[in-house]
Chain A
């Protein structure tokens, strides 16, 4: 590889990673303003962030919401994917496009649509509103990852199982499911991340008592600009890095993304 190429690659990395590095450095600021470079180093903003109910409650909400959304959208996605991948019925392609449609719809449109719809049916409970919305957001990701695993699965494996006497149910649990399990797990982790990170839909559905962490950061930012935001962001960076490493370690990120 030539020097120029390496230099370009290096610059790209700097371009992508520099803001993250700045955030992490700022989070260790000892002063009261988001100085860069910081005037002194301390953990005080971490302690402060974790003492605020706003952040702590939002983190808890985001975690349970992500877990619940992933747990619900996985079985739904699994059933939808198997129907699309194995079924032979008219409108199969249309159904697939429909299931993946939320991926291509602007989040803000989904958010407004849900806000209006919830109002129409009188659904006021914020946790439930968020959960339903996040199942909708994560569902296309589960369909996408599980479909990718199913299409990589050699159909003759299922045929072989049938010739060996496996009924359709046994065939699924003994052959298909174990073989697409990495895809299912990866889809679940993905769904969790997508839910955790969501702003455009969530922003319409939170209330005073139920906030997700990105929304909490935004509302805090409206009246304050201190390094506690950087501290929370740094914690999220570490968390998502850990998840990405986990993904890479178990399945290889490339395969998970369906690339």
Chain B
């Protein structure tokens, strides 16, 4: 039985179709991230699970019972809001105890439960402070403690880290991951940050224009995107349209802008079919001399080179492929070409293994 289920949920806001028949099953104790750009419907989905937005169509189930028309305050959910929404007129302890009091839980055990919730987020001793007296990270942890203290069926997190600076954000990702795993709570997390989704999630639902484009583990989403949109959103910047030319030893031969690319796929494609190809920037080798090992290599001209510290990214134009450009990313430590020798205009060779090419039907 799924902890949270959405069945063909639809929602319109005026002329905008925010969600189109979205179905999603989230297992007990699972950490699922709804990932997508703003306006893709991820926050609406979360608010529908919380009951803060009513779906036009479809049903919502939590722990096996339908809650579609159950008001928010009768659902057993905890939620962390993007702006945290800590009560400014209550102390930290009162904020955390709020859910317990509203649910008539633990009148005598309340102080104990509040203390242990605050210990869980390493904020013991801050009970009597007011939210305005805490740092951003501390406020974050209060919001987290407040959302889990009454042991809800599911915790919903709506971009809670968006406002934090990078270092704090990474620390809080760790904290959220550890906490949810430790107490074994089902979690639904909303973010537009693909890296955050990859770090935190058991499964990721990539959303686009009100539908889930792909649902899968972080590795599935990252390594085997099934649509062009997912590939693009996950940072596979080299995307090409192609047509199937033939099969060779179980491998697909595709024509992409004048060059023939070999790829392996489980998709059922026949000669003449259109497809999209994606090659991640870090999967492409860049050398000054023609590489001996992979038989497949193309000549190119460096258009630009950007140094990022750990990595460098290059744009390389391929005259043989209708002047298409590839984005190539190399780890500077492992780079085979000496730094400084890849000025724009340099003639280079690019190559990749057939396994690095993903084929997508659309």
Contacts and interface: CB of A to CB of B under 8 A. Distances in A.
Q: Is B truly associated with A?
A: yes
Nearest to B78: A163
A164 B102 contact: yes
A156 B89 contact: no
A163 B72 contact: yes
A166 B73 contact: yes
Contact of B73 (A156, A157, A167, A179): A167
B87 interface: yes
A159 interface: yes
B98 interface: yes
Most buried by B among A157, A163, A167: A163
A19 B52 CA distance: 57
B73 A160 contact: no
A175 B73 CA distance: 14
A165 B87 contact: no
B81 interface: yes
A170 interface: yes
A163 B50 contact: yes
A239 interface: no
Contacts of A222: none
A166 B99 CA distance: 8
A178 interface: yes
A162 B52 contact: yes
A164 B98 contact: yes
A228 to B, nearest CB: 47
Contacts of B81: 156, 159-160
Contacts of A161: 87, 98, 102
A164 B99 contact: yes
Interface of B: 50-52, 71-75, 77-79, 81-83, 85-89, 98-99, 102-103, 146-147, 150, 156
Interface string A161-204: 11111111011001100110000000000000000000000000
A174 B98 CA distance: 9
A160 B139 CA distance: 14
A165 B73 CA distance: 4
Contacts of B86: 160
A154 B75 CA distance: 22
Contact of B85 (A156, A168, A170, A174): A156
B50 A165 contact: no
Contacts of B79: 159-160, 163
27 contacts: A154-B83, A156-B82, A157-B87, A159-B52, A159-B81, A160-B86, A161-B98, A161-B102, A162-B51, A162-B52, A163-B50, A163-B72, A163-B78, A163-B147, A164-B73, A164-B99, A164-B102, A164-B103, A166-B73, A166-B102, A168-B73, A171-B73, A174-B102, A178-B89, A179-B87, A179-B88, A179-B89
A73 to B, nearest CB: 25
Contacts of A163: 50, 52, 72-73, 75, 77-79, 147, 156
Contacts of B50: 159, 163
B72 A162 contact: yes
B87 A175 contact: yes
Contacts of B156: 163
Chain A interface size range:
10 to 19
Contact of A156 (B71, B74, B83, B147): B83
A154 B52 contact: no
Contacts of B88: 179
The 8 closest A-B CB pairs, nearest first, are A165-B102, A160-B85, A164-B99, A162-B72, A163-B79, A156-B85, A165-B103, A166-B102
**For A157, A167, A175, A178, which residue has the most chain B Cβ atoms within 10 angstroms?**
A157
A246 B99 CA distance: 36
B49 to A, nearest CB: 10
A168 B89 CA distance: 19
A163 B79 CA distance: 6
Nearest to A158: B85
- For B72, B82, B83, B156, the residue with the greatest tally of chain A CB atoms inside 10 Å of its CB is B72
Contacts of A178: 89
Contacts of B150: 164-165
Contacts of A162: 51-52, 71-73
A163 B149 CA distance: 13
Nearest to B158: A156
Given A163-B72, A163-B78, A163-B79, A157 B85 contact: yes
Nearest to A164: B99
B99 to A, nearest CB: 4
Given A161-B87, A163-B75, A166-B98, 18 more contacts: A156-B82, A157-B87, A159-B72, A159-B79, A159-B85, A160-B79, A160-B86, A162-B71, A162-B73, A163-B52, A163-B156, A164-B73, A165-B73, A165-B103, A166-B102, A167-B102, A174-B102, A179-B89
Contacts of B83: 154, 156
Q: Most chain-A Cβ atoms within 10 A of its Cβ — which of B52, B73, B88, B150?
A: B73
Contacts of A168: 73
Contacts of A170: 102
A76 B281 CA distance: 65
A157 B86 CA distance: 7
A179 B102 CA distance: 18
Contacts of B78: 163-164
A179 B103 CA distance: 21
Nearest to B102: A165
A159 B74 CA distance: 13
A109 B72 CA distance: 48
Contacts of A165: 73-74, 99, 102-103, 150
A154 B73 contact: no
